Structure 1
Amino acid sequence: MRARSSRWPHWMRLGLAGVAVFLLASGCAMLPPEFERTPSKAVPLSADTALGRIAKGSQPDPDLSGFRLMPGGDFALDTRLELARRAQRTLDVQYYQIHNDETGRYLLRTLRDAALRGVRVRLLMDDLYTSGEDELLLALAATPNLELRLFNPFPAGRGSMLGRFSASLLDFSRVNRRMHNKLFIADGAMAVAGGRNIGNEYFTQTAGANFIDLDTFVAGALIPRLASLFDQYWNSEYVRPIEAVVASPVPREERRRRFEALSGAQTTPPPRPPAPNDVLGYSPIVEDIKAGKLDLIWTRAEAYADSPERVIGKQVTYGGIPLLDVDSVRYNVIEQIRRGRSDVTIVSPYLIPGKGGLDAMREVRERGMKISVVTNSLAATDEPVVHTGYRRYREDMLKLGAEIYELSSQRTRRSVRLGLFGTQIGRLHAKSAVIDGSTLFVGSMNFDPRSDVVNTEIGLIIFSREMAQQVLKLIEVLKQQGAYKVRFAPGTERIEWVSEEAGVEQVLTSEPDSTLWDRVVLEILAPLAPESLL
């Protein structure tokens, strides 16, 4: 539940853990033993719940799904909290990370309160970032009506990341594969999906660096599909209840009593309330719920999630020949891009196209499509060594004619309009794509090898020109007020970064906003960063 380090990328932590195993001569540990499980299923929408009645009464056509984009972190958090407070039957919650900070603990207490009201709460967390939090999670799991399961858990060395990987060297292929999905469903009626984990920095609750991210509220025809995707993970053989992973000598009732103190109930203030309106002009979704009518964009949409069996590297084959996984998020997003006719805009904080992605870009460029990509600059990223993977392809993308924009941590700080996204330093975390100005992807998938074949992801493909245009307007603000355009200097293949300040073009010839030390360290580490682990 701790936030990922801002200076140690995933592949470096894994490498250090592997080295530590040899140095410490540790043993190895496999997936914890199987437990006696009874399949559990989502409860469908019912008019017996207030959320169910509102969702059903707001839907103009049974085949359509309703959406509202949530670029503002305060709105996205408030929506999740209000759904948890108003749920009457079920809450299905799935996250890669729930930080042990004010926001994370507050949400856990809100889920606990729902369970005490009699709501069935199923909380599924990836186990990578739960180091040292077993006592808190066991206390939460002692709540009646609440079950907490861990995806692909570490059975030993749980007090630290180093200890976990030290105990799992011979099982590295498994523990390297993580559940990156983010999903929140209330009463089988309303949901939130997108790019945000749970933590202060995802919801503009910090005075320092905040993530620029994107979620969408969902109701209507897509909810049963999202619920079935959650069930697929919840009932997966790679999931364990936390009690089956961690043995506790503390009686269940005592653990339950300890939750208040462990979750900081007396010391954690509630989150700041959202503003009256967000950057798109919407009021908080709770106002719609109070009014009994959802003001949404109703349209066709599809939802996809990668199979939980990615945890063992399982590949779809026919006659021993690997096939494309047509249910994967990557396959379906790339197919939408390939069907495009005029243009595609891709937003990804971690952008490593790889050979396959570069080939796809070349294919659509040869058909005359325009490509625009937005990603983090070296100074803005929270994974600086991952930037080396992107940098390997930057010149090739420019040669293909792609437009590239890199988010500037300093320009977002100075921008008044981007202040609506957060305060102080801004870092990109949104994952989206817009094809032909009319088809929108929103989800958890980055455009990088880890999302392609290692981690599991979830994604929504929404066929709505109105929503696509909303996202393009948000992206345009990022480009003009918060990013540098990357280009070749005229007549050369030397990269430069361009912005406009007070109507005057500013040109930089080195990684913007970064220090000499940042750049030197990057040059040293770049050859040591295998693309498969970025």
Structure 2
Amino acid sequence: MKKGRIISITAVIVLLYIIVGSSLPFIIQPKYKKTDWNNTKVSKIYGQSEGLRAGIIESNEEALDIRLRMIKDAKERIVLSTFDIRPGKSSDDIFAALLAAADRGVKVRILVDGLYGTLHMAGESEYYAAGTHNNIEIRFYNTPNLLKPWTVHGRLHDKYLLVDDDLLLSGGRNTFDYFLGSYSGGASFDREALIYKSGDSSGNDVIKQTYDYFESVWDLQVCKPVFENVPFYKKDIRQAEEKLNTHYLNLIEQKKDIFDAESNYTKLTVPVDNAILLTNPTHIYAKEPVVFSELVALMEKSKDRVFIQTPYAVFSKDMYKEMTEAAKAQPNITMLLNSTAVGDNFMASSDYTLNRKKLLGTGVTLYEFYGSHSTHGKSLVIDDDLSAVMSYNLDMRSTYIDTEVALVIRGKEFNKLLEENMLKMQKEALKVKKDGSYGSNASVEAKELTRAEKSIFSITSVVFQLFRFLL
């Protein structure tokens, strides 16, 4: 056999090994055993947590500022868990603040998804400057190994910031300029919930639940320390540290409203009756759809209405079935999602192009968002007192593959605040009729796809069905 042929055959075998090994473990999607209401996780939302308050962080500028404020106020510990950190101005701001906190004795732990951490953080001096600090530890979750292709999927999609025992921020934002600050011109719309615990911090409140969850992930064997050992060729770590220290001094001058004034988290929040944390399993393989099924249980229990905001919707057969059952139990379910013309997830938009009718067939009322750019927020409003702000998207990847977190909050004032923000976005959307045409909205004009875009989506919407269980 010729050498070239041997090489070709070997390459094909390796490629097949990677493709099959990375996808086969996720083809069969586990089911979540249905139970009566009293045994659901979400039923605990009707407990009571004293001194708990919650607020909404809507704009990207607010999102960066609240992070800097929380980190500035830290006295003992900080936990940052995120899907994606990328070099940029907002990352400089945050790591300068984290380094300053570590310098004053605060213990900082940072957990990042291993795929995106490797792609966007590896080799960057500022992360070595942080990771080599005695009070900072950085770990990656499930860094892919092509010799073990089943590690390619199963990503850490959690997004939250914990400070001491009284502050929690969680929602849909990643940690880079597209989501934080005003550094990126085409930034995404997103949303987070700020939880503030005033008074006694004892008891199993949502902040403690999130710490416990973090510890369970942090201690997994697939979470490995990074940036603690500097490669011999990296000679600029101390300069990077000095640069971050100087940057922090400049931040203090630029943002005196954050650094000079005492923080008033009461002013940023409203009282709530309770809040709980929902999470998916944390292993790296196909997961039971815990977050999705628990949220559906809440929808089925609702009395008046359900309002969902998700960037995109990619349903499995079971998800279509459960959403149809929820719509029968509660006919007033509205879902707001990106139109294909403004969505920034090409694969999800491709799937939606083909399966839009199926989604309408569940009985849910659809609104397609036509704002200036994509929305990335994931939220839920139920009746006049229940809300959820999440990292979770209504797609199969978030449902069966990735880790996810969702804050479920009970409180009428918070519910009203969240609804107001969601309704603002709905005003920039068009209602989808049962026949697929649009209802009227004088202030919104549907953006037409170009002929090239239509042609591409007509092809990809079909081709992607081969592996849509990974979308």
TM-score by length of 1: 0.71
Aligned residues: 422
1:367 and 1:308 mapped to 2: Cα distance?
31
Cross-structure match for 1:224: 208
Change (3 A) 1:79 1:134: same
Check the 8 A contact 2:299/2:330 in 1, yes or no. Answer: no
1:114 and 1:356 mapped to 2: Cα distance?
46
Cross-structure match for 1:340: 302
Cross-structure match for 1:375: 337
Cross-structure match for 1:477: 424
Indicate whether 1:121 and 2:94 are aligned. Answer: no
Indicate whether 1:111 and 2:48 are aligned. Answer: no
Instruction: Decide which of 450, 453, 457 is 1:522's aligned counterpart.
Output: 457
Instruction: Decide which of 188, 194, 205 is 1:211's aligned counterpart.
Output: 188
- In percent, how many aligned pairs have the same letter? 21
Cα deviations across residues 78-130 of structure 1 (Å, max 9, x unaligned)?
Answer: 11111111212111111101121111222112111211121111111112223
1:215 and 1:176 mapped to 2: Cα distance?
25
Check the 8 A contact 1:352/1:389 in 2, yes or no. Answer: yes
Check the 8 A contact 1:204/1:211 in 2, yes or no. Answer: no
2:249 and 2:265 mapped to 1: Cα distance?
30
SS state of the match for residue 123, structure 1? Answer: strand
Indicate whether 1:301 and 2:275 are aligned. Answer: yes
Cα deviations across residues 437-494 of structure 1 (Å, max 9, x unaligned)?
Answer: 32111110001100111000011111122222222222222122x2122224xxxx3x
**How many Å apart are 1:239 and its aligned residue?**
0.2
Instruction: Decide which of 157, 162, 165 is 1:180's aligned counterpart.
Output: 157
Indicate whether 1:153 and 2:143 are aligned. Answer: yes
1:226 and 1:343 mapped to 2: Cα distance?
28
Letter in 2 for 1:485: K
Instruction: Decide which of 420, 425, 438 is 1:497's aligned counterpart.
Output: 438
**How many Å apart are 1:169 and its aligned residue?**
3.8
Cross-structure match for 1:533: 470
Check the 8 A contact 1:479/1:485 in 2, yes or no. Answer: no
Check the 8 A contact 1:142/1:256 in 2, yes or no. Answer: no
Cross-structure match for 2:414: 467
SS state of the match for residue 150, structure 1? Answer: strand
1:359 and 1:285 mapped to 2: Cα distance?
51
Letter in 2 for 1:339: K
Indicate whether 1:248 and 2:231 are aligned. Answer: yes
Instruction: Decide which of 68, 71, 74 is 1:81's aligned counterpart.
Output: 68
1:356 and 1:407 mapped to 2: Cα distance?
26
Indicate whether 1:134 and 2:122 are aligned. Answer: yes
1:275 and 1:262 mapped to 2: Cα distance?
20
Letter in 1 for 2:131: A
Indicate whether 1:233 and 2:207 are aligned. Answer: no
Cross-structure match for 1:171: 148
Cα deviations across residues 320-355 of structure 1 (Å, max 9, x unaligned)?
Answer: xxxx67xx3223212211212332111110211322
Check the 8 A contact 1:142/1:255 in 2, yes or no. Answer: no
**How many Å apart are 1:308 and its aligned residue?**
1.9
Check the 8 A contact 2:342/2:374 in 1, yes or no. Answer: yes
SS state of the match for residue 389, structure 1? Answer: helix
1:515 and 1:378 mapped to 2: Cα distance?
12
Letter in 1 for 2:281: S
**How many Å apart are 1:203 and its aligned residue?**
2.8
Check the 8 A contact 2:85/2:121 in 1, yes or no. Answer: no
2:77 and 2:248 mapped to 1: Cα distance?
28
**How many Å apart are 1:296 and its aligned residue?**
2.9
Cα deviations across residues 10-62 of structure 1 (Å, max 9, x unaligned)?
Answer: xxxxxxxxx9x94796998x9xxxxxxxxxxxxxxxxxxxxxxxxxxxxxx86
Check the 8 A contact 1:196/1:213 in 2, yes or no. Answer: yes
SS state of the match for residue 196, structure 1? Answer: coil
Change (3 A) 1:234 1:179: same
**How many Å apart are 1:188 and its aligned residue?**
2.1
**How many Å apart are 1:286 and its aligned residue?**
9.4
Change (3 A) 1:487 1:268: farther
Indicate whether 1:442 and 2:423 are aligned. Answer: no
Cα deviations across residues 368-425 of structure 1 (Å, max 9, x unaligned)?
Answer: 52111111111211112211222333213324442211111xxx3xxxxxxxxxxxx3
Unpaired segments of 5 or more residues in structure 2? Answer: 1-7, 22-47, 198-204
Check the 8 A contact 1:439/1:461 in 2, yes or no. Answer: yes
Cross-structure match for 1:98: 85
Matches within 5 A, 1:284-295: 289=263, 295=269
Change (3 A) 1:290 1:459: closer
1:128 and 1:241 mapped to 2: Cα distance?
14
SS state of the match for residue 426, structure 1? Answer: coil
Change (3 A) 1:296 1:140: same
1:115 and 1:152 mapped to 2: Cα distance?
26
SS state of the match for residue 111, structure 2? Answer: strand
Change (3 A) 1:331 1:484: same
2:393 and 2:253 mapped to 1: Cα distance?
29
Letter in 2 for 1:459: A
Change (3 A) 1:260 1:499: farther
Check the 8 A contact 1:79/1:285 in 2, yes or no. Answer: no
Cross-structure match for 2:240: 259
TM-score by length of 2: 0.80
Letter in 1 for 2:240: F
2:154 and 2:74 mapped to 1: Cα distance?
32
2:255 and 2:246 mapped to 1: Cα distance?
21
1:444 and 1:293 mapped to 2: Cα distance?
25
SS state of the match for residue 129, structure 1? Answer: helix
Instruction: Decide which of 42, 45, 50 is 1:63's aligned counterpart.
Output: 50
1:334 and 1:286 mapped to 2: Cα distance?
45
1:85 and 1:443 mapped to 2: Cα distance?
25
Indicate whether 1:312 and 2:285 are aligned. Answer: yes
Unpaired segments of 5 or more residues in structure 1? Answer: 1-18, 31-60, 155-167, 277-283, 316-323, 413-424
Check the 8 A contact 1:341/1:369 in 2, yes or no. Answer: no
Cross-structure match for 1:162: none
Check the 8 A contact 1:89/1:120 in 2, yes or no. Answer: yes
